[in-house]
């Protein structure tokens, strides 16, 4: 089908005009119809070119083409394309297998398709065709709610064939399926909307979480005892100097006395726990050997000739002062 003529492509002097709202305007000149379409910002479409005068309508041509394509698509979808489905049997078929074949045939008939029931004979089974007829008649009775027998059982070579047609046409079956599908979609959409509304109106409950206090075990701190430290006072021994001796003897006595003073504390500092009274009592005993050593050392020094010259030197006079 070719596209209809629109606007300036309409080559007739006058048309029967239909308005944009579907109202009848009447027979008008083509110039008036074009001007009215331009004022409405729409198109002038020739919908019935065979009539006298031709019928033109003011409409949106793009929308018109879209609606026409949708209608053609729906028509193709609902087109009756009947398909012949085949169900095969054996003459000695089991009850479970027979029930499976019956359910499949009911499904085919419900979709609007024809069913071809076929019995396969093997060997000597061909000599008993009456058993095949009884089996096909039983099958036709079991699916009578969904289809009727179009062709009675016939022998085709080694096989026996029977055709069952659906009670509903293909178009009706398609329309019913589409209606069920749309109803299911609407129900699902309504359920989602209801759930969303219930979720928005439901107050949010705040869950209180109980927190258990954590008990900390007390830590016992033991006091640190400091051991007392005994300090023993160290007394420096006072050397005994004899003033009656000469200046030369003083110099000689001071050197051993200093040595004795250094040695004496080292000997007495070993016992740290000795009481202070014992140390004080033992100190005078140490002074006597020091004095004895000093006197014994002074005698040989006086006999030397160098000791006689000592008073004459200036070095020996400094300690005398």
Model confidence pLDDT, tens digit, residues 249-296: 453 344 444 343 334 344 344 444 434 444 334 444 444 444 334 334
> Residue 41: its pLDDT value, please?
86
Distance (Å, whole) CA 320 – CA 251: 9
pLDDT in tens, 159-205: 999 999 988 776 676 677 777 888 888 888 888 888 877 777 655 55
What would the two tokens of residue 213 be?
């206090």
Could you give the residue range(s) of every CATH 3.10.20.80 domain in the chain?
Answer: 7-61
> Residue 286: its pLDDT value, please?
42
> Residue 291: its pLDDT value, please?
39
Mean pLDDT confidence for 100-113: 90
Q: Is the preceding omega at residue 53 within 30 degrees of 0, hence cis?
A: yes
Tell me, yes or no, if the pTM score tops 0.75: no
b/e code 196-215 from CB counts within 10 Å (16+ = b)? eeeeeeeeeeeeeeeeeeee
The CATH number of domain 7-61 is 3.10.20.80: yes
Could you give the residue range(s) of every CATH 3.30.110.10 domain in the chain?
Answer: 84-171
**Do 15 and 4 contact (CB within 8 A), yes or no?**
no
State which of 210-224, 235-249, 307-321 shows the largest mean pLDDT.
Answer: 210-224
Mention every residue, 6+ apart, whose C-beta is less than 8 A from residue 151: 161, 162, 163
Distance (Å, whole) CA 57 – CA 80: 33
> Residue 261: its pLDDT value, please?
38
What would the two tokens of residue 84 be?
């012949």
Weakest-pLDDT range from 12-26, 35-49, 136-150, 269-283: 269-283
Name the residue with higher pLDDT: 122 or 241: 122
Tokens 């055709």 appear where? 163
Q: CATH number for the 84-171 domain, one of 2.60.40.10, 3.30.470.20, 3.30.110.10, 3.20.20.70?
A: 3.30.110.10
Sorting pLDDT into bands at 50, 70 and 90, what band is 217? low
**Do 276 and 233 contact (CB within 8 A), yes or no?**
yes
């Amino acid at each position: 089908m070719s596209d209809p003529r629109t606007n300036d492509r309409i080559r007739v002097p006058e048309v029967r005009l239909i308005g944009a709202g579907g109202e009848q305007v009447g027979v008008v000149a083509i110039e008036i119809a074009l001007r009215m379409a331009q004022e409405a910002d729409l198109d002038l479409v020739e919908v019935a070119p065979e009539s006298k005068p031709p019928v033109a309508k003011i409409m949106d041509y793009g929308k018109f083409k879209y609606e026409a394509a949708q209608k053609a698509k729906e028509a193709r979808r609902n087109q009756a394309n009947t398909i012949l489905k085949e169900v095969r049997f054996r003459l000695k078929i089991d009850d479970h297998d027979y029930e499976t074949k019956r359910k499949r045939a009911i499904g085919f008939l419900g979709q609007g398709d024809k069913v071809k029931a076929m019995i396969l004979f093997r060997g000597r089974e061909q000599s008993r065709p009456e058993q095949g007829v009884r089996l096909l008649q039983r099958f036709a009775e079991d699916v009578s709610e969904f289809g009727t027998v179009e062709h009675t059982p016939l022998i085709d070579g080694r096989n026996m064939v029977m055709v069952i047609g659906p009670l509903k046409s293909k178009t009706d079956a398609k329309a019913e399926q589409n209606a069920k599908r749309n109803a299911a979609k609407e129900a699902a959409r309504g359920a989602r909307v209801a759930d969303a509304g219930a979720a928005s109106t439901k107050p949010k409950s705040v869950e209180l979480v109980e927190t258990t206090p954590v008990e900390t075990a007390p830590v016992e701190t033991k006091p640190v005892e400091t051991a007392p430290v005994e300090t023993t006072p160290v007394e420096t021994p006072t050397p005994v100097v004899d003033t009656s001796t000469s200046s030369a003897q003083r110099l000689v006595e001071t050197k051993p006395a200093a040595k004795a003073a250094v040695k004496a504390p080292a000997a007495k500092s070993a016992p740290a726990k000795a009481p202070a009274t014992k140390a004080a009592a033992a100190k005078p005993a140490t002074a006597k050997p020091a004095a004895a050593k000093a006197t014994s050392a002074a005698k040989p020094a006086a006999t030397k000739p160098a000791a006689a010259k000592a008073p004459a030197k200036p070095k020996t006079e400094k300690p005398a002062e």
